[in-house]
Chain A
Amino acid sequence: MADNSSVVRQICGKLGNDKNRLMDILLSVQAQSGCIASEALDEIAQFLSMSRVEVESAATFYAFFSEERRGRFVIRLCNDVIDQFHGMDRIAAAFRAELGIEFGQTTPDGLFSLEYTPCIGMSDQAPALLINHKVVTRVSTDMVHEIVQTLRTTKDLGQIKFPLGDGNNSHPLVRAMVLNNLRQRGAVVFAPTTPAVALQRALSEQPVEIIKIVKASRLRGRGGAGFPTGMKWEFTRAAEGARKFIVCNADEGEPGTFKDRVILTEAADLVFEGMTIAGYAIGASEGIVYLRGEYAYLLPFLDDVLARRRAAGLLGRDILGKTGFRFDIRIQLGAGAYVCGEETALLSSCEGKAGDPKTRPPFPAQKGYLGMPTVINNVETYCAAARIIENGPGWFTSMGTQGSAGTKVFSVSGDCGQPGIYELPFGITVSELLARVGATDTVAVQVGGAAGRMVGPAEFGRKFCYDDLATGGSVMVFGPQRDVLGVAHSFMEFFVDESCGYCTPCRVGTRLLLERLRRFLAGTADGVDIDYLEKTGKTMKTASRCGLGQTAANPVLSTIQSFRQEYERRLKPNGAVFLSSFDPRKAVVTAEGIAGRASMHFGTQKSEVQS
């Protein structure tokens, strides 16, 4: 114990015993001890001068932390719906057979733990998995055998040698087998750029001018919600605060989204440049990139990009010779929680707390990180902002549509010939995109991930843009062999796992929808169950506290809207009307007459008998 205690002491000390850095402390303790044990909670609490239960609150919130000791190699098989459709079960069976354990278990020798994990941002190269921070994609059963054998004999993750991916995936600091699958470079994010040009131009202008330019470009947030970026910057600049912050949301957890991964791999400089420009515009000197834990393999590479920018005078003090302008960026790693993609939950996590969303208002522009005015934008938004400063707002608005200027980076996965990354102007229709990605016989397209909506062939003429089909980038294609209710079921399971549990409608409603949906899949549903799903889903949409809960019913609501026949054909025989032989309203008429009042079951109106 003394030994363990000194480990915790060292970890806490290295981060200045700062409770705002609790996430990093917990990540280190988990990595070094294989768990965050009860004693460690006490020790961390002591070193950070906080209560034990506060530490426990954060330590038990995130999927990558565990109370029980995990194996030296934690194998996390992605169970996203795309992976399920691309052989996940075969891979799972191979691991069970090789390791002799079930998912959720650790081998007796303490070497391996086996777990499922939601989308890890590799849907275009499914099935995929993580072994600690190492990503393995396009997994075959032969590879499973090789992985287990290699780790058993060498106990060294570095000995797993699969061919490295393209571009920076084979950079010495990345060395991942991940592929970019960058099929279409557009004019904004993936166009060739020279570092520092945009920043140089920005620093020659007054900060308020920068905001004017971004507003004139009509740039809207690329994470999916589409809030006007210039307005957000303006609010944050105007807000009072001793410090201000620029936060980059790189917690790309929406199932089927992986564009931020490719942007960070191939255009990290542009992201950091956009953040620096934002810092200049609003008067911030500190930036944070919240990088999802699944992308930890990119951390050394990104830290190196930051170091190079510091050395080149693009970060730090007096940036590019601009006296008094100081800005630097740190990367905050997440630990497996989809809800942290919600901007206020992301802030809670950055502050070292459980990833519960914060009450709004106040909005982050007023009170964000540490209660200070904070801009939070998506990875892609910062890229676009930098390019707008470089090329002017007119250049940007010449692309896309009136309400949705510029390009969008799409992550396309599923049943198509060329899954991958496509940067295209806003306004492209679903069928145009499907033709481009080599999708034929498509029966359904999930737009915007689990929180988005599913559209059928009748809607393939609709456009990708904020005013029609809005998406943070996820486009999942489903062919005729797929069951749309199966897809909805997978997404509902995802939401049950990922709800933070703070508010009633999301915490309970997700489970209620899942339970009722299972009745349809089992063939035991009644006609009234469709109404129940719609009504409960609407309650969640209306009453939930954050974007997660407000969209968590979408898998069900949008499939009922676009694929109602899929629900109806699964009703149990004669189940279309609940006990059609019995009309409860009719049954209470006599009793209502005797009582002299309407039955409470049917509201205040007295029952009317239909003849």
Chain B
Amino acid sequence: MSEPERKDVGFTIDGNEVAGEQGQTILQAAALANIYIPHLCAMRGLSPWGSCRVCTVLVNGRPQAACTMPISEGMVVENDTADLNDLRSSLVEMLFVEGNHYCMFCEKSGNCELQAVAYRLGILSPRHPYMFPVRQVDGSHPDVMLDYNRCILCARCIRASQELDGKHVFQFIKRGANKRVGLNSANGAGATNLVVDDKAAEACPVGCIIKKRVGFAVPVGQRLYDKKPIGSEIESGRAATSMR
């Protein structure tokens, strides 16, 4: 028998009363209460990271990342406001212009969280100028391809490899604009101990880590976010049971 729930931390999100458990983050507690807070670097089962900043909310008037901020009794959280959604749009647009995201040619289109969050926020085109960086593609692994053009530096692969696979396939190297996901080998992904069944290969929210030979198995139009916007699984409560 599972432990009884101790939802003893009461707070509000956009005026709605939410009860959560001590130790939960705002993002976790909100999801369990069927409230969607847009996010990209946060992923169920991985430790909080707080790098994309898309989940920025106001906590008692101060900006905080909902994915790393623990809940506390009586806190007042603002989430779905015009200002915050504009801020989030600006951040998502930054991620678009920073890389090379050609949705129409991308195998991940329709399953891509970056694309889905952009649609959900109503982004039509980025307000920022494209940077068109020159980035590498690593095809050295027999079963997995890495297309760094699409990497948004969310660190989900890094954390999944360490926390779920018990490996160290990925880690950030360099800094600033040059920061990128490095590999635990001098000779590309093929020389690492990454295998296609690793959780790390599943963790990518965009089309950077792609499995070979299974492309377009599900046709465009029938994909995860083709019918319903991202976050609707949380709002409908379908995600709540599995989030626990």
Contacts and interface: CB of A to CB of B under 8 A. Distances in A.
A235 interface: no
B176 A498 contact: yes
Contacts of A10: none
Contacts of A38: 186
A543 B176 contact: no
Interface string B151-195: 011000000000000001111111111110011111000000000
B48 to A, nearest CB: 7
Interface string A351-378: 0001110010100000000000000000
A512 B131 CA distance: 9
A359 B171 CA distance: 17
A499 B152 CA distance: 16
B168 A499 contact: no
Interface in A485-520: 496-505, 507-509, 511-512, 515
B87 interface: yes
User: Among A38, A56, A508, which residue has the most Cβ atoms of chain B within 10 A?
Assistant: A508
A468 to B, nearest CB: 22
B79 interface: no
A543 B87 contact: yes
Nearest to A541: B63
Nearest to B158: A53
Interface in B51-98: 51-54, 56, 63, 65, 68-70, 82, 87, 90-91, 94-95, 97-98
Contact of A51 (B124, B168, B176): B168
A60 interface: yes
A179 to B, nearest CB: 33
A117 B192 CA distance: 35
B122 interface: yes
Contacts of B51: 502-504, 545
Given A354-B172, A545-B53, A52 B177 contact: no
A539 B177 contact: no
User: Among A361, A504, A601, which residue has the most Cβ atoms of chain B within 10 A?
Assistant: A504
A495 to B, nearest CB: 9
Interface in A513-545: 515, 532, 535-536, 539, 542-545
Contacts of A337: 175
B94 A497 contact: no
Contacts of B52: 503-504
A501 B94 contact: no
Interface in B5-63: 48-54, 56, 63
B221 interface: no
B4 interface: no
A118 to B, nearest CB: 12
Contacts of A512: 94, 128-129
User: Among B48, B177, B183, which residue has the most Cβ atoms of chain A within 10 A?
Assistant: B177
A237 to B, nearest CB: 22
A418 B129 CA distance: 44
Interface string B114-150: 0000000010100111010000000000000000000
A353 to B, nearest CB: 10
Interface of A: 38, 41-42, 51-54, 56-57, 60-61, 337, 339, 354-356, 359, 361, 496-505, 507-509, 511-512, 515, 532, 535-536, 539, 542-545, 600-601, 603
5 contacts: A498-B176, A501-B174, A511-B177, A539-B87, A543-B56
